[in-house]
């Protein structure tokens, strides 16, 4: 496949949030839409009442629902599902059947788990237990396996039950216990928030969890944008704001440009596997080391391979971290072992991860072409930003005190509720313009990537580009969709492959295939191919079974910067090689068919030029390949003219001058659209 002409449109104009065909009428029969913050450590649900969003509380009075799911045997052969605080309390007793922090595994593959599997107290069905490219699963003690999508769906069901109880539909006991009847709630729709840096696979997994929970997912809303909505920055505010979102398992940084109710995300960055969980594991490792646990001795009962011990260490580490939000020092205890922990010790433990966030912040500011002192404010989001250590770090990083009027753990759910209210017919005219975190494109001949939708393009987005065939009589295309910033395929992530068949058997370069990328408001992608002569079509919904790891995201971006010059040189080399090979093949075929149209000296000159092209094409000097190709073009120029003249004479033989004049008249016999397609 080689590029032909292009007609690219990305980012469109401003748009009202809404899905094609989606009704904007209020839900009937008392059904309502809620906003859900599906978090790594805790989750929340909120709704708009009397024109203002509020977070809904459980029977225990807490707004936070621990994102913990326990599968408890009942004796009847089926497990009872418990969600929330009760599941957290029983985690130490049944660590292999209690799943926490599952958000970090959403859209991830089993092959991505090498660095994580040893520090979770439940068993992951990873590489060696099946296909490493399939979605990760958790293996319960009864042998059953559950996916992160299923676990997340249980959390969503518990949140819906909480909302139903709070609004007078259902019972508080159902909401708090997680012993749920999925048919009872009359909450049927939701806006669910996701990290801005979630890729296609992670977003799709979140949407699937919502559907499995019986919800119509009105939209997947980026967490930083939801936070800005909650702060009321849509109410005529203007300015540029940074949203620093550090939760339990993910980190996002987004730069927003706000103008009269229009939210435009101009740059985003982050890490889908970085958050408070990492700090908990680091502190737990210190505690386990003090207790004499040695991971090199799996049989040691004090080893972190013991799930119950690991769960107690993680719980104590998290509790100690929280205590340091109010106190300067505390003590971590595990059995008879205790070690002191001060706020300075916590800062030291957090520093490697906070430094990772600072790199993402600098990159996002560079993408937005802004300096930190040009921002109008910094918004904190996520439970981890409650720590004074994080707040001090952010203040130093941006050179200003962050906004702190709203609880950073509640702010995302409040914004999601506002958006759910608008999308379910409650009014509101906020325009949200999010961006694509990594470029989307396709593979062309020679392994070169043609980027159709660049990184940080506004969504929804579409891009259209026309390609042509490489070989004579080529009747199909293999279309390879990739994601990333490198110029060649091996440096990017494969997303999907599909085929377009039934192309007309015509000479190379005559067929025209239009490739179209469409990215919806949720950041989910559809790619289609349309052959313009015959009308044959093919399409694929990009639904990868797993997402990008934090290392891959970091590598993709850093490699694209560090290797930009080398990548461009390699792209030029591959492109010149492909063109040289095509030129030699076409010239050789023409000589075999019409050798009589040129004399022996011309044939010898063309043959020598072809040999030279093939010789330099085996090397690495793309400029030399281009010069050799141009020399072959000059050597075969008269031969090409002779073939063209013969073809023209054959076309006009036996026809009257008046007929030819009529054919050449403007608009005769064809539409402007068809003429435009033929001229490309």
Q: How far apart are CA 375 and CA 242, in angstroms?
A: 7
Burial class (CB in 10 A: 0-12, 13-18, 19+), 490: exposed
Cα distance between residue 146 and residue 148, in whole Å: 7
CA–CA gap between residue 407 and residue 417 (Å, rounded): 15
Beta-sheet pairing, 52-55 with 65-66: unpaired
Helix (H) or strand (E) holding 379: strand 377-381
Structure tokens at 615: 């010789």
Is residue 103 part of the annotated active site? The answer reads yes
Q: Is 93 a catalytic residue?
A: no
Three-state SS at 602: helix
DSSP state of 488: B
Token duo for residue 502? 């039934």
Are residues 418 and 47 in contact, defined by beta-carbon separation less than 8 angstroms?
no
Please tell me whether residue 415 adopts helix, strand or coil conformation: helix
The pair of structure tokens assigned to 585 is 């093949």
169 carries an active-site annotation:
no
Picking from 286, 387, 294, the residue whose alpha carbon sits closest to that of residue 340 is 286
The strand pairing partners of 531, in sequence order, are 513
| 195 Cβ contact partners less than 8 Å away, ≥ 6 residues apart | 202, 222, 223, 245, 247, 250, 251, 252, 270, 272
Q: What is the rounded CA–CA span in Å between residue 167 and residue 448?
A: 56
Q: Check: CB of residue 380 under 8 Å from CB of residue 402.
A: yes
Question: Measuring CA to CA, how many Å separate 388 from each of 277, 322, 327, 667?
Answer: 17, 10, 10, 73
Catalytic annotation, pick one of 123, 200, 223, 306: 223
Of the listed 85, 150, 199, 245, which one is catalytic? 245
Q: Which of 103, 137, 386, 451 is catalytic?
A: 103
Decide the pairing of beta strands 137-139 and 145-146: antiparallel
| Cα Rg, the chain, nearest whole Å | 30
Angle at the Cα of 277 from the Cα atoms of 271 and 278, rounded to 5 degrees:
70
Cβ(543)–Cβ(206) under 8 Å? no
SS3 238: strand
Measure the CA–CA gap between 305 and 296, rounded to whole angstroms.
Answer: 10
Buried b (16+ CB within 10 A) or exposed e, 39-67: bbbbbbbbbbeeeebbbbbbeeeebbbbb
Task: State residue 369 phi and psi, 5-degree precision.
Answer: 60, 45
- Pick the catalytic residue from 37, 199, 208, 550: 37
The SS3 call for residue 208 is: helix
**CA gap 98, 86 in Å, rounded:** 11
Neighbours of 165 (CB within 10 A): 22
Give the C-alpha separation, 279 to 282, whole Å.
Answer: 5
C-alpha to C-alpha distance for 243 and 381, rounded to whole angstroms:
7
Q: Confirm whether 223 is a catalytic residue.
A: yes
> Of 465, 439, 482, 441, which is closest to residue 530 (Cα–Cα)?
465
186 burial class (0-12, 13-18, 19+ CB within 10 angstroms)?
Answer: middle
Q: Which residues are catalytic?
A: 37, 103, 223, 245
């Amino acid at each position: 496949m080689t590029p032909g002409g292009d007609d690219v449109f990305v980012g469109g104009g401003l748009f009202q949030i809404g899905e094609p065909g989606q009704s904007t009428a209020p839900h009937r029969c008392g059904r309502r839409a809620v906003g859900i913050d599906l978090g790594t450590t805790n989750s929340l649900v909120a709704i708009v009442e009397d024109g203002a969003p509020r977070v809904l509380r459980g029977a225990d009075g807490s707004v936070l629902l621990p994102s913990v799911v326990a599968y408890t045997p009942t004796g009847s052969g089926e497990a009872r599902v418990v969600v929330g605080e009760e599941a957290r309390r029983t985690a130490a007793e049944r660590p292999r059947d209690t799943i926490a922090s599952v958000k970090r595994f959403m859209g991830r593959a089993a092959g991505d788990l090498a660095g994580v599997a040893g520090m979770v107290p439940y068993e992951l069905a990873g590489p060696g237990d099946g296909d490493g490219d399939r979605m990760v699963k958790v293996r319960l003690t009864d042998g059953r396996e559950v996916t992160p999508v299923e676990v997340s769906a249980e959390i969503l069901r518990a949140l819906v039950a909480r909302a139903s109880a709070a609004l007078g539909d259902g019972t508080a006991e159902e909401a708090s216990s997680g012993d749920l009847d999925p048919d009872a709630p009359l909450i049927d729709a939701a806006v669910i928030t996701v990290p801005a840096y979630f890729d296609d696979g992670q977003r799709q997994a979140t949407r699937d969890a919502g559907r499995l929970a019986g919800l119509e997912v009105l939209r997947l809303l980026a967490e930083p944008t939801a936070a800005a909505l909650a702060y009321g920055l849509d109410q005529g505010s203007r300015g540029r704001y940074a949203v620093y979102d550090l939760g339990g398992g993910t980190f996002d940084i987004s730069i927003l440009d706000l103008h009269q109710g229009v939210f435009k995300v101009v740059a985003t960055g982050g890490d889908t596997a970085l958050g408070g969980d990492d700090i908990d594991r680091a502190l737990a490792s210190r505690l386990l080391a003090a207790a004499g646990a040695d991971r090199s001795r799996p049989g040691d009962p004090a080893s972190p391979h013991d799930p119950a011990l690991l769960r107690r260490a993680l719980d104590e580490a998290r509790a100690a971290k929280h205590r340091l939000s109010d106190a300067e020092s505390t003590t971590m205890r595990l059995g008879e072992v205790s070690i002191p922990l001060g706020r300075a010790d916590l800062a030291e433990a957090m520093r490697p991860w906070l430094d990772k966030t600072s790199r993402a912040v600098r990159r996002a500011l560079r993408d937005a072409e802004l300096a930190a002192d040009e921002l109008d404010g910094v918004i904190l989001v996520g439970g981890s930003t409650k720590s004074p250590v994080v707040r001090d770090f952010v203040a130093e990083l941006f050179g200003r005190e962050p906004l702190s009027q709203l609880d950073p753990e509640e702010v995302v759910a409040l914004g999601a509720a506002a958006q759910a209210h608008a999308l379910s017919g409650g009014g509101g005219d906020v325009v949200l313009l999010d961006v694509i975190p990594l470029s989307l494109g396709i593979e062309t001949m020679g392994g070169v990537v043609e980027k159709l939708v660049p990184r940080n393009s506004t969504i929804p987005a579409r891009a259209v580009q026309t390609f042509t065939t490489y070989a004579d009589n080529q009747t199909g295309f293999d279309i390879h969709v990739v994601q990333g910033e490198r110029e060649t395929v091996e440096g990017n992530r494969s997303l999907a492959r599909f085929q377009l068949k039934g192309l007309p058997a015509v000479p190379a370069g005559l067929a025209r295939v239009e490739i179209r990328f469409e990215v919806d408001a949720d950041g989910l992608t559809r790619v289609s191919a349309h052959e313009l002569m015959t009308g044959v079509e093919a399409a694929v919904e990009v639904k990868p079974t797993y997402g990008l790891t934090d290392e891959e995201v970091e590598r993709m971006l850093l490699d694209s910067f560090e290797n930009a010059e080398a990548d461009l040189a390699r792209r030029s080399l591959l492109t010149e090689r492909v063109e040289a090979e095509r030129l030699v093949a076409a010239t050789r075929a023409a000589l075999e068919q019409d050798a009589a149209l040129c004399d022996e000296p011309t044939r010898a000159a063309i043959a020598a030029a072809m040999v030279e092209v093939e010789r330099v094409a085996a090397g690495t000097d793309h400029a030399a390949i281009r010069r050799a190709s141009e020399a072959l073009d000059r050597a075969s120029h008269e031969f090409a003219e002779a073939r063209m003249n013969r073809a023209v004479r054959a076309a006009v033989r036996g026809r009257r001058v008046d007929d030819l004049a009529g054919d050449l008249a403007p608009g005769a016999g064809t539409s402007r659209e068809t003429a435009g397609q033929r001229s490309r």
